[in-house]
A and B are shown apart, each in its own frame.
Chain A
Amino acid sequence: MDFTLGTLLGFMAIGLAVIPGGYASSKAVGMVGRAGAGVITEDPDKFGSILILQALPGTQGVYGFLTGLSIMVKIGVLGGSIQALTVNQGIMFILAAVPVAALGWLSAIFQGQVAASGVSIVAKRPEEMGKAVILAAMVETYAVLALLASLLMVLSINV
């Protein structure tokens, strides 16, 4: 295997893409879970609604992972023969990972806060649960846009 600084930078880009979104998603999902557990103690029937709310801020982790995966495909991590990248290519991968890393991180936390507040909607007015979901989903828009930007950049890099 050709071992270059560019390849190392590419691996760094994978980590950069995967870690912040996953970290923030797990934090946000945990936040909603803790708020939801209280409601479930009172009324176990609300488990389904709470679960959906809890799942919402989990997507940023997936977006980060997805960006990481597409970098892996590009570099050839999955194919078993890792490409020798130039330093510029490595840096480009890192830059491509930045949007999903930064926005995935921030938006997951914010979305988690909205979803955790939505738990009280489910507790008090379960029939309005759809609104709680939509409120939380509004935040996700910017994570989707960041994913889009990152993916388009990754796919445009010629290796």
Chain B
Amino acid sequence: MAISEMSRVTVLGHESRIGDVIDVLQQLGTAEVSQFGEDLADEELLDLACPYDASERIAELDSILAELSYTIDMMGKHRHIKRDIVQNFSGFRLYMTEDEWNAYAEGGAEAARDIYSRAKAIEDTLAQLATNEASILTSIEILAPWQGLDAPIEEIRTGRHVELVLGTADARKLEASLAEASEIVEGLAWELVGVDGERAYLLTAYPLSEAEEAARALSQAGFAEVRLDQYSGVPRDIIARLRKELDSIYRRRDQIEQEIDALVEDRPRVFVLHDHFYLEREKYAITNRFGGTEHTFMVEGWVQTKDLEELRAEIEGIADDIVVLDRPRFEDEEAPVELSNKPLVAPFEVITKTMGYPKQGTIDPSPYLGPFFLVFFGLCMTDAVYGIFIALVAFQLMKKTHTRPGEGGFLDLIAMCGFATIFVGALLGGWLGDLPKRLFGWDTAILFDPMESPTTFLILSFVMGIIHLYWGIIIKGIDNVKKGEWLSAIYDQGFWLVWLTSLMLTLGATALGPNGPAIAAVSKWFLIASAIGLIATQGRQHKNPIKRIGAGLISLYNTTGFMSNVISYARLFGLGFTSTVLASVMNDLFLRPAGIPVVGPVIAVVGLAFGHLFNILINIIGSYVHSSRLQYVEFFGEFFEAGGRRFMPFGMSTKYVTVENSKEA
């Protein structure tokens, strides 16, 4: 139990079996494949490269994967995956049976290419349509003011005797300035084509003989020439034609939308294909870690000793020419760490893993921290009904995420936290705060009521802290005994516990009632004895006797560290009391309007529901986090050795799809 025992395995075989072996390794998902020869010198390694070069195939798979990712992104851009609240937190996942998976994956690379080219064609068409639309809209904007022009644009040009020019001028000064110009230029004529706000759009004509004169006079009159050479035809007709084209773009776009719908319909296939090729790629990529000779390959890795025999049977079952060698971990060898515990303890691994994996060969704290974590969480929430709510939500979430109770996950932990909260809440009488008391005058507290005796709650927190810390010291002591270091256990943990206990009894004698002085009289001697013991032993790594005693004296200073750790448990009271007081305030607030006829009870019930939900929400994160922190900082400080490397077996890790009811899940 606790930290799994690891075995080092080596698989040897003929080159031709490499694919089969990788398949089995991936299916089982129990072995972590190490880089071959990580313990060999570079020169030795040169001759031992894996005979199979996968780089070409990997590049091929990468390009398929890139195309599928493009398709998935493209679909996501146009049609959102519907997610429920849970998936907003946990991310999207698709659940299906193995048969469904196989059916979707059937088409393979061809299906992937096909779907990609559909997606690409849709994107390209949409881009083209957008460009066309923009240019048509610009043309319409340019031509719109000229709709009054009855002549085709290409005929507005320089003729044999007459020059025709289109242009704009200031509409307000038009009459006056053109009249002035026509006085200078003989034969100047103009026609107002349209007016748009302050701009007037004009067609002007003048004899060619007066061209220079006319250009000058017109420009003085504020006339600016406009050239529409890129168009031909009557503006009205051109605009009508453009509008038709625009309509056909919009119709095409509707069609495309349907094509997108059809494509998105096939989304599960894309997800499956992506994961299918992703797993395929993983298989080829893992060969980079293999070693070998010209015709054989070698795989080295770690496997949990409990999974060893299954692995051996499966791999040696492929063919007779494959060998699986194993040996236990060397004492000082860095093996990856995996925790394995009984189902009731397994959920607490989540807490340990958040902190990091314990060093190989040390203690897995998960079983020891469990009960404390639950009680701390319960003390922080302090309400039985909140506990019921939390447990129900946890079970609901398990249903949504397709996990079963007892699989040892985070939700199991939350469900257990819920039960612990029910228990602690019942002890402290929290049933939606003090609601029973307010409504029926019931005194629900079994142990004590936090509202009436907050100091008791505070002392309870400290006592919990002392028990928790003592427990940590005892674990370390037992570990020392197991390692055969009896003296360390007595010197470091034994004396220390006696010192702390007698110190507290002596100093707190007055609080112990009539027997206090008697207890203090006895504990005083224990105090002195343990102090001498600590001073004599805590500097034992020093040879110099003065240094030795100095280090021993300084070790007594650790008492302040212990005390400040104990004080840290006041947070249990802080959070628990906050939750209790807030619950009571909610009750006070929302029971007030209950007396109003008809609407009163409705307001009260709805208000209480929201109020207490709010209280749960703001407290649950804090309860979880601070219960964790008390483990990490205070409890782990006594014995935990960090620095383990996580065990990462080579297996079926997919991105979008989970296959249920089979080994691939």
Interface residues of A (CB under 8 A from B): 45, 47-49, 51-52, 55-56, 58-59, 62-63, 66, 69-70, 73, 78, 130-131, 133-134, 137-138, 140-141, 144-145, 147-148, 151-152, 155
Choose from A48, A56, A66, A130 the contact partner of B89 (Cβ within 8 Å): A48
The 10 listed contacts between A and B (C-beta, < 8 Å) are: A45-B91, A45-B92, A51-B89, A66-B582, A69-B582, A137-B628, A141-B568, A141-B571, A144-B575, A151-B581
- CB-contacts of B568-587 with A (<8 A): 568, 570-571, 573-575, 577-578, 581-582, 585
Known contacts A69-B581, A70-B581, A52 near B574 by CB under 8 Å: no
Q: Give the distance in Å from the alpha carbon of A118 to the alpha carbon of B356 in the complex.
A: 17
A138/B622 in contact, CB under 8 A: no
Known contacts A45-B92, A131-B354, A152-B454, A137 near B629 by CB under 8 Å: yes
The residue in chain B whose Cβ has the minimal distance to the Cβ of A78 is: B588
A48/B90 in contact, CB under 8 A: yes
B626/A69 in contact, CB under 8 A: no
Q: Give the distance in Å from the alpha carbon of A49 to the alpha carbon of B91 in the complex.
A: 11
- A52 to nearest B CB, angstroms? 6
Measured between beta carbons, the chain B residues less than 8 angstroms from A131 are: 354-356
- CB-contacts of B342-398 with A (<8 A): 353-356
Give the number of residue pairs across the A-B interface with Cβ within 8 Å.
79
| Other contacts beyond A52-B621, A138-B629, A151-B577: 19, CB < 8 A | A45-B91, A47-B88, A55-B618, A55-B621, A63-B578, A66-B578, A69-B582, A78-B585, A130-B354, A130-B355, A130-B628, A137-B625, A137-B628, A140-B622, A140-B626, A144-B626, A145-B571, A148-B577, A151-B581
B354/A78 in contact, CB under 8 A: no
Measured between beta carbons, the chain B residues less than 8 angstroms from A55 are: 618, 621
Measured between beta carbons, the chain A residues less than 8 angstroms from B458 are: 148
Please, what's the 1-or-0 string for B617-640, where 1 marks a CB less than 8 Å from any CB in chain A? Answer: 010011001101100110000000
- A140 to nearest B CB, angstroms? 8
Q: Give the distance in Å from the alpha carbon of A155 to the alpha carbon of B90 in the complex.
A: 42
Q: Give the distance in Å from the alpha carbon of A130 to the alpha carbon of B631 in the complex.
A: 14
Among B89, B574, B575, the most chain A Cβ lie within 10 Å of the Cβ of B574
Q: Give the distance in Å from the alpha carbon of A73 to the alpha carbon of B589 in the complex.
A: 11
- CB-contacts of B83-119 with A (<8 A): 88-92
The residue in chain B whose Cβ has the minimal distance to the Cβ of A133 is: B625
Which 9 pairs of residues, A with B, have the shortest CB-CB distance? A48-B89, A130-B354, A45-B91, A144-B574, A137-B625, A144-B571, A148-B574, A69-B585, A137-B629
B625/A66 in contact, CB under 8 A: no
Q: Give the distance in Å from the alpha carbon of A131 to the alpha carbon of B353 in the complex.
A: 10
Q: Chain B's interface: helix, strand, loop or mixed, by majority?
A: helix
Measured between beta carbons, the chain A residues less than 8 angstroms from B574 are: 144-145, 147-148
Q: Give the distance in Å from the alpha carbon of A141 to the alpha carbon of B567 in the complex.
A: 11
Q: Give the distance in Å from the alpha carbon of A80 to the alpha carbon of B333 in the complex.
A: 71
Q: Give the distance in Å from the alpha carbon of A145 to the alpha carbon of B577 in the complex.
A: 12
Measured between beta carbons, the chain B residues less than 8 angstroms from A78 are: 585, 588-589
- B591 to nearest A CB, angstroms? 11
Known contacts A66-B582, A69-B581, A131-B354, A144 near B88 by CB under 8 Å: no
Known contacts A63-B578, A70-B581, A148 near B573 by CB under 8 Å: yes
A134/B629 in contact, CB under 8 A: yes
Among B625, B628, B632, the most chain A Cβ lie within 10 Å of the Cβ of B625
B578/A62 in contact, CB under 8 A: yes
Q: Give the distance in Å from the alpha carbon of A135 to the alpha carbon of B276 in the complex.
A: 38
Please, what's the 1-or-0 string for B296-329, where 1 marks a CB less than 8 Å from any CB in chain A? Answer: 0000000000000000000000000000000000
Interface size on B (CB < 8 Å)?
A: 33
A47/B622 in contact, CB under 8 A: no
Please, what's the 1-or-0 string for B545-578, where 1 marks a CB less than 8 Å from any CB in chain A? Answer: 0000000000000000000000010110111011
Q: Give the distance in Å from the alpha carbon of A54 to the alpha carbon of B625 in the complex.
A: 14
Q: Give the distance in Å from the alpha carbon of A147 to the alpha carbon of B92 in the complex.
A: 40
Q: Give the distance in Å from the alpha carbon of A94 to the alpha carbon of B317 in the complex.
A: 79
- CB-contacts of B451-470 with A (<8 A): 454, 458
The residue in chain B whose Cβ has the minimal distance to the Cβ of A55 is: B621
- A80 to nearest B CB, angstroms? 9
A147/B578 in contact, CB under 8 A: yes
Q: Give the distance in Å from the alpha carbon of A140 to the alpha carbon of B312 in the complex.
A: 51
Measured between beta carbons, the chain B residues less than 8 angstroms from A52 are: 621
Among A58, A66, A78, the most chain B Cβ lie within 10 Å of the Cβ of A66
Q: Give the distance in Å from the alpha carbon of A125 to the alpha carbon of B585 in the complex.
A: 41
The residue in chain A whose Cβ has the minimal distance to the Cβ of B80 is: A44
B581/A48 in contact, CB under 8 A: no
The residue in chain B whose Cβ has the minimal distance to the Cβ of A43 is: B91
A48/B632 in contact, CB under 8 A: no
B454/A134 in contact, CB under 8 A: no
The residue in chain B whose Cβ has the minimal distance to the Cβ of A155 is: B454
Measured between beta carbons, the chain B residues less than 8 angstroms from A73 are: 585, 588
Measured between beta carbons, the chain A residues less than 8 angstroms from B568 are: 141
Q: Give the distance in Å from the alpha carbon of A155 to the alpha carbon of B629 in the complex.
A: 28
Q: Give the distance in Å from the alpha carbon of A52 to the alpha carbon of B628 in the complex.
A: 15
Measured between beta carbons, the chain B residues less than 8 angstroms from A134 are: 354-355, 625, 628-629, 632
Measured between beta carbons, the chain A residues less than 8 angstroms from B92 are: 45
Q: Give the distance in Å from the alpha carbon of A107 to the alpha carbon of B354 in the complex.
A: 24
- A132 to nearest B CB, angstroms? 10
The residue in chain A whose Cβ has the minimal distance to the Cβ of B618 is: A62
Among B89, B568, B589, the most chain A Cβ lie within 10 Å of the Cβ of B89
Q: Give the distance in Å from the alpha carbon of A151 to the alpha carbon of B90 in the complex.
A: 38
Among B355, B573, B581, the most chain A Cβ lie within 10 Å of the Cβ of B581
Measured between beta carbons, the chain A residues less than 8 angstroms from B578 are: 62-63, 66, 147
Q: Give the distance in Å from the alpha carbon of A72 to the alpha carbon of B405 in the complex.
A: 45
The residue in chain A whose Cβ has the minimal distance to the Cβ of B578 is: A66
Q: Give the distance in Å from the alpha carbon of A152 to the alpha carbon of B355 in the complex.
A: 33
Q: Give the distance in Å from the alpha carbon of A48 to the alpha carbon of B92 in the complex.
A: 12
Q: Give the distance in Å from the alpha carbon of A73 to the alpha carbon of B568 in the complex.
A: 28
Measured between beta carbons, the chain A residues less than 8 angstroms from B632 are: 134
Measured between beta carbons, the chain A residues less than 8 angstroms from B575 are: 144
- A119 to nearest B CB, angstroms? 16
B629/A47 in contact, CB under 8 A: no
Known contacts A66-B578, A70-B581, A144-B575, A47 near B570 by CB under 8 Å: no
- A153 to nearest B CB, angstroms? 12
Choose from A47, A48, A137 the contact partner of B626 (Cβ within 8 Å): A137
- B457 to nearest A CB, angstroms? 11
Measured between beta carbons, the chain B residues less than 8 angstroms from A58 are: 618
Q: Give the distance in Å from the alpha carbon of A69 to the alpha carbon of B570 in the complex.
A: 21
B354/A145 in contact, CB under 8 A: no
- A59 to nearest B CB, angstroms? 6
Q: Give the distance in Å from the alpha carbon of A52 to the alpha carbon of B544 in the complex.
A: 53
Q: Give the distance in Å from the alpha carbon of A134 to the alpha carbon of B578 in the complex.
A: 20
The residue in chain B whose Cβ has the minimal distance to the Cβ of A136 is: B625
- A39 to nearest B CB, angstroms? 14
Known contacts A47-B88, A78-B588, A130-B354, A56 near B621 by CB under 8 Å: yes
Measured between beta carbons, the chain A residues less than 8 angstroms from B585 are: 69, 73, 78
Measured between beta carbons, the chain B residues less than 8 angstroms from A151 are: 454, 577, 581
A47/B573 in contact, CB under 8 A: no
Measured between beta carbons, the chain B residues less than 8 angstroms from A145 are: 570-571, 574
The residue in chain A whose Cβ has the minimal distance to the Cβ of B577 is: A151
The residue in chain A whose Cβ has the minimal distance to the Cβ of B90 is: A48
- A70 to nearest B CB, angstroms? 6
Measured between beta carbons, the chain A residues less than 8 angstroms from B571 are: 141, 144-145
- B455 to nearest A CB, angstroms? 8
Among A45, A78, A130, the most chain B Cβ lie within 10 Å of the Cβ of A130
